[in-house]
Amino acid sequence: MRVVIAGAGSMSVGGYDGKIAGLYDLEETLGRGHYAVVKLARHVFTGEKVAVKVIDKMKLDEVSRAHLFQEVRCMKLVQHPNVVRLYEVIDTQTKLYLILEWADGGDMYDYIMKHEKGLDEGAACKYFRQIVHAISFCHKLHVVHRDLKPENVVFFEKLGMVKLTDFGFSNKFCPGQKLETSCGSLAYSAPEILLGDSYDAPAVDIWSLGVILYMLVCGHAPFQEANDSETLTMIMDCKYTIPEYVSEPCRKLIAQMLIRDPGKRSTLEDIASDPWLQEGWTVDPAEVLPLVSRQHLTEEDHAHIIHKMVSGNIASMEEILDGLDRNEYNHITATYFLLAERKLRAHRLQQADLAKNSVTSPVMSVRKSGGSLDESTIQNTSDTSRFIQGSQLFKDDMANGILHNKLSEHNGGLMNGGQGYGKLLDRHRITNGYSPLLPRIRRDFSDLLE
């Protein structure tokens, strides 16, 4: 399906008419890059805030088109509560619009910079666990991020969780086969990337995870020298110093990821089961909150949303149901899921509060609440024991990304994805372009809407 925005062709990246065909009211700029501007926007029908990335297709060269092609493909594939959601893709003659979930708390880099000696290890563990969980899920679907850094992790303060963004350098990989493209950000890149060698895809994300954990607990980057040449030397020598106040278990975990030989680095399974990451583990809101999908809604709520959309002349009931069945990324499905999120928001916040305020166990929390958590709140489970099983599932299967009762294996459900809108002008971002083996990208992006 090709969605055309009336009058959009006359807009430049720097100039806006304030609306996108009456669908979104564009507000302040959140980020700016070579060929894209990201705006805060409000979905007109629902009033919900979103982030709109406006890509000027006329400024894209072949390499940039390849990046964008892979970015959207991977965003459609990855579905996880700790990955920023992609709602809608709108293609016009000169622009491509990506409608994305808006983070209300800024990015992790700015957050870390406010803590000179790093975060409390309890908080660092909580956020790092969520990042690991997201990357584990990506790798399960054979998607490598290749640009992991605090700038590409954003906060959702109301839910007490973080989400991974910016899949601009992501790509699919085949287990056992190595990739060739040098890309990422210098201070976070693995040695094999900087050497230009072919590399094992999961291992480069593991290295970057090590850098992120170091920054969380130390308050600064392990390899950030006065100039790029010195930074490169430190990375290749794997030379860094951890402050004395960092605990020994945390030191060990960092050391197991920041190893020059990728074959000796910890795997995601090793990281997920590490004592430091598991110590003091409790049910975290981010680990039990459901993604919004048709399966999380009651029939009554589903019918109410359909009625509201039909009454608002968004689409007919047949068009809405067809769009959901086809997993489309158009204004119909975007409106449906924004309304669904509103329906479930109270349940999600209630569940987060229960998890935070639990004194003894999730079982006691549910009992004290008088059974107020319904099946749409806890992954379509209807009793407390299954809630506990769902929590245990995270602990047992975090490395496999198994959490929800309905996960996408190929193209199922409303896909989510990441897009860096807080820091589009990345610090020391490097790329040598994609492999010649990549299929040539068509100049028309309508295939991304299929």
Residue appearing with tokens 């294996």: 409
- Please identify which residue in the block is written with the tokens 């009992």: 367
Radius of gyration of the chain (CA): 22
Is 117 part of any known ligand binding site? no
Contact partners, residue 39, CB within 8 Å, separation at least 6:
16, 26, 27, 28, 29, 30, 51, 52, 54
Catalytic residue among 91, 147, 200, 274: 147
* Dist CA 119 CA 217 (whole Å): 5
CA of residue 246 relative to chain centroid, distance? 28
Maximum C-alpha span of the chain: 64
Query: 3-class SS at 58?
Result: helix
In this structure, what are the phi and psi dihedrals at residue 55, rounded to the nearest 5 degrees?
A: -105, 125
Please name which of 382, 429, 423 lies closest in space to residue 405, comparing C-alpha atoms. Answer: 382
Q: 350: how many CB neighbours lie within 10 A of its CB?
A: 15
Active site residue 444: no
CA-CA distances (angstroms) from residue 219 to 84, 120, 228? 25, 10, 20
What does the block give as tokens for 180? 């060739």
- The pair of structure tokens assigned to 106 is 């800024």
d(C-alpha 448, C-alpha 68), whole Å = 10
**Catalytic machinery residues:** 147
Binding site residues, as ranges?
Answer: 53
Binding site residues for ATP, as ranges?
Answer: 53
